Amino acid sequence: MAGLPSFAQFLPYSEGMSAGTVAIAVIDDRDLAMWDVYELGIACAVFGVPRPELHDPWYRIRLCAVSGEGAPDGSGLALRTPYGPDDLVGADTVIVPSVPDPCVAGDRELPEELLTALRRAAAGGARMVSMCTGAYALGAAGLLDGRRATAHWSHTADLAARFPEAEFDPSVLYVDDGDVLTSAGVSAGLDLCLHLVRRDLGAHVANQVARGMVVPAHRAGGQAQFIDLAVPAAADDGLAPVLEWAVDHLDLPLTVDGLARRAGMSPRTFYRRLRAATGTTPLQWLLDQRLARAQSLLEATDLPVERIGEASGLGSAANLRRHFLQHVGVTPTEYRRAFPARPDVPEPPEAAPPAGGDRSLRAGRPVPRGAARRRSAAGGSGWRGGRRPPTAGRPPS
């Protein structure tokens, strides 16, 4: 593929041609962690299962084993394959579905033979793909420099710190940057794999693959709808009581001045300390909490959208819908459909009637333009407001 014009490299393959070779890097092949099997399985299920009724021949797949230095023996799975790191070179598409958790934590380095092979594959014209923590490998190989990328939202802040030349968007399911594509965590890898099939073989084939796997061909929204917006655990001790009170009274028309008085601070001091503790402004923090309350009510109750708007302090159903589309990437109805009601969650208290207030944190006011998230590729919104507090672990997306 090297030498082809950029616009021709990834056009759909003609009937009778192979859909291309997909090489998948499997790190710690002698002790593959149970968690990493999921993302590996997604790539194998999409590209490794022949579908002659859709396209013949289908993709050719290589599982390329990479033995990590210092990888301890454990209770994981072992991979038996004739392919190694050098077999990543020459493939049409190279996928890194994940990297071991110690490499994510910085306790172990990624194997240099893997990074060298990734650089050689990219230089040879391969389409480079990562899923979830696989972005650490592409970043370490220098393949994300100057590009937009994504990963699981709980890792994007760390990735941005490690690889400052790349721009990481925590809100989208995947980013297609031409010859480098990255996906968010866990199930978002399936969204990206279906997108690759759609690019290569067309929408009909991708839709049929999705149908056979009993998943939507294209999910509404981005991973913003899965981000936890809880009160940060590390909040300033002097702020914690007033922030907890605010979360319990989101149905009221809260104001910066009112919260500052409750905290016994001037508005300027309150603003400064809240920003230092949470990484965002009082206005944005309160909007995040209102959205989190609305999400919780959509998940846990069958309340009408109008009541949820009132109880969360977001105002009318129209305002609730506008905020959801702008900040979550889907409508309240789509969100409720994705997260059906949980019977174990109690119904919220009755919303209090509106009251007056100064310094507009009032429900229904438009969010300042600079704090809004911009729309971006692959169904979602790019976070451009206050920084969200990092969340440990890898919850499902």
- Domains of the chain by start residue, with CATH: 6-219 (3.40.50.880), 229-366 (1.10.10.60)
pLDDT for position 378: 38
90/87 Cα distance (integer angstroms): 7
Average pLDDT of the chain, as a whole number? 78
Nearby residues of 374 by Cβ (< 8 Å), 6 or more positions away = 381, 382, 384
pLDDT for position 202: 80
pLDDT for position 337: 82
Residue 388 has pLDDT above 90, yes or no: no
135-187 pLDDT, tens digit each: 999 999 999 999 999 999 899 999 999 999 999 988 888 999 999 999 998 88
Nearby residues of 230 by Cβ (< 8 Å), 6 or more positions away = 292
The strand pairing partners of 380, in sequence order, are: 376
Residue 397 has pLDDT above 50, yes or no: no
197-253 pLDDT, tens digit each: 988 888 778 888 988 998 876 665 566 556 555 444 444 567 888 988 998 899 999
Give the orientation angle of helix 188-201 with respect to helix 34-47, to 10 degrees: 20
Handedness of CA 29, 163, 130, 391 (dihedral sign): positive
Identify the three-state secondary structure at position 183. Answer: strand
115/339 Cα distance (integer angstroms): 39
80-99 pLDDT, tens digit each: 899 999 999 999 999 999 99
At residue 8 the predicted structure's pLDDT band, cuts being 50, 70 and 90, is very low
Compute the half-sphere exposure of residue 389: CA atoms within 13 Å on the CB side of its CA. Answer: 19
43-69 pLDDT, tens digit each: 999 999 999 999 999 999 999 999 866
State how far Cα 82 lies from the chain centre: 33
Residue 191 has pLDDT above 70, yes or no: yes
End-to-end CA, the chain: 34
The strand pairing partners of 94, in sequence order, are: 23, 128
Mean pLDDT of 285-312: 90
Residue 357 has pLDDT above 60, yes or no: no
User: 179: which 2 tokens?
Assistant: 């010859």
CA distances from 211 to 173, 207, 396 (A): 19, 6, 22
pLDDT for position 368: 29
pLDDT for position 111: 95
pLDDT for position 121: 98
